[in-house]
Amino acid sequence: MEIKWLRDFLELSAEGNFRIAAKARSVSQPAFSRRIQALEVWVGAPLIDRSSQPSQLTAAGKMFLPVAQQIVDLAESGKANVQNQAIAEAEKMRFSTLGTLSQIFLPGWLRSLQPFIDANQFVVKTEYVTILDYFSALESNSVDFFISYLDPKRGAQSDALIFPSLKLGTESLVPVASPNQDGSARWWLPDQPKEPIPCLHTLAENSPWPIKNHMTSLYSGLIFKPIYESSVATGLREMAIQGFGLAWLPHRLIADDLTKGKLVRAANLADDLLVDIRIYRCAKYTEPRVEKFWRVLLQREAHNHGTVIHI
């Protein structure tokens, strides 16, 4: 059975005339008649009384009419739902980023773009582990953009021809810990502590969290012991407040904690890690929605050249 047979049957039941119904269905009358006959063979009973003019539905035809209408309506509804879903999926902007940036940077940044972009549906993925994972997701077109921290002293993370990038702003990552009872720093890195220092973020190789190189180059004589690994700064912040160890955290996240004394600096201001926030794409993919979004970013970069979002 084919849906077009049901539509033919519904048209004929409404018109009562094979010629007029065939014209409405944009098919020749002989072909239309054959399709009605094919439907009757499938149902197993005559649906149309052809002896009268206009033609009438048989008893079987009257019984089958609401069923045919229901099937056609259900098919149309299902088709519309699938098409709408496909359109919605195609319009979504897909980002991958660190859990930290998804919480403290991405919402405000996307809000600032609203006057300039049409996109209002977003997917944000934070499940990737290493830099290679993030760029693999870009290259496989699993995401459209990757937003990450980058230590400018270390240079590019990727091939700029394959993965062009733009600077969105800067951030200060501050070494902090909970204070002693007298308000002093539990660990003061410039004093070169001899005991291992409990550390609250990942020191894994190829992590997008740009701390390890900073720690090993600036504090090569210290021993850091990772005791809690996470790419989500809000969790690291809470662990630091509870006294579990030291963490480098975004200043915008812990500025109020520093003011209230819930956290204190573990090193001098000069020892903060100033990092770029960059957005990457894969040059192989040029979907119109991605190109339009990228053009907006290029225009904003040109307009705001040299502007620092946060230090």
User: Which structural domains are found in the chain, ordered by start?
Assistant: 3-90 (1.10.10.10), 93-303 (3.40.190.290)
What length does the chain have?
A: 311
* CA–CA separation, 173 and 251 (whole Å): 6
* CA–CA separation, 156 and 35 (whole Å): 65
Answer for the pair 75, 4: CB distance below 8 angstroms, yes or no: no
304 HSE (CA, 13 A, CB side): 14
Question: 222: which DSSP letter?
Answer: S
Answer for the pair 231, 202: CB distance below 8 angstroms, yes or no: yes
Q: CA torsion sign, 130 to 134 to 137 to 139?
A: negative
**Nearest-CA neighbor of 50 among 72, 40, 5?**
40
Torsion from C-alpha of 194, 200, 205, 207, nearest 10 degrees? -150
* CA–CA separation, 219 and 189 (whole Å): 8
**Nearest-CA neighbor of 145 among 189, 95, 218?**
95
Peptide bond into 198 cis (omega under 30): no
From residue 137, give the alpha-carbon distance in Å to each of 65, 125, 141, 297: 51, 10, 6, 21
**Nearest-CA neighbor of 222 among 197, 250, 258?**
197
Reported pTM:
0.67
**pLDDT by position in tens, the chain (length 311):** 889 999 999 999 999 999 999 999 999 999 999 999 999 999 999 999 988 888 899 999 999 999 999 999 898 888 777 766 655 555 688 999 988 899 889 999 999 888 887 767 889 998 888 888 999 999 999 999 999 998 877 766 678 889 999 999 999 999 999 999 999 989 999 999 999 999 988 656 677 778 877 888 888 889 989 898 877 788 899 999 999 999 999 999 999 999 999 999 999 998 899 999 999 999 999 888 889 899 999 988 877 654 444 43
